[in-house]
């Protein structure tokens, strides 16, 4: 534990931020896994629907600053490649 007052505050706010961001990042990972699973076994329509929900989560996290916009675009691009490969 730090001794400096500002460092103590930053440790506290970092923990709060991490606690707030972790479930959102987990939801993004779960949605991406679901898209990949559907592309391997499901129909193209189902894959497009799950991709749309995953894209929404990723965009929302990007707008709120939870993930960087380039990281969001990269994730969406990789998922889109998998969905488009089904056709």
Q: pLDDT tens digit string along 33-86?
A: 999 999 999 899 999 999 999 999 999 999 999 999 999 999 999 999 999 998
How many domains are contained in the chain? 1
pLDDT at residue 1, as a whole number: 86
Query: CA torsion sign, 26 to 27 to 30 to 32?
Result: negative
pLDDT at residue 87, as a whole number: 73
pLDDT at residue 56, as a whole number: 98
CA angle 57, 24, 15 (to 5 degrees): 155
d(CA 83, CA 5): 50
The CATH number that applies at residue 30 is 1.20.58.110
Give residue 77's domain range. Answer: 5-84
């Amino acid at each position: 534990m730090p001794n400096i007052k500002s460092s103590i505050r930053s440790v506290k706010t970092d923990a709060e931020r991490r606690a707030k961001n972790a479930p959102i990042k987990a939801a993004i990972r779960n949605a991406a896994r679901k898209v990949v699973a559907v592309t391997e076994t499901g129909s193209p329509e189902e894959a497009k629907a799950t991709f749309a929900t995953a894209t929404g989560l990723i965009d929302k996290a990007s707008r709120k600053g939870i993930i960087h916009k380039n990281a969001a675009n990269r994730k969406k691009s990789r998922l889109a490649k998998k969905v488009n490969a089904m056709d």
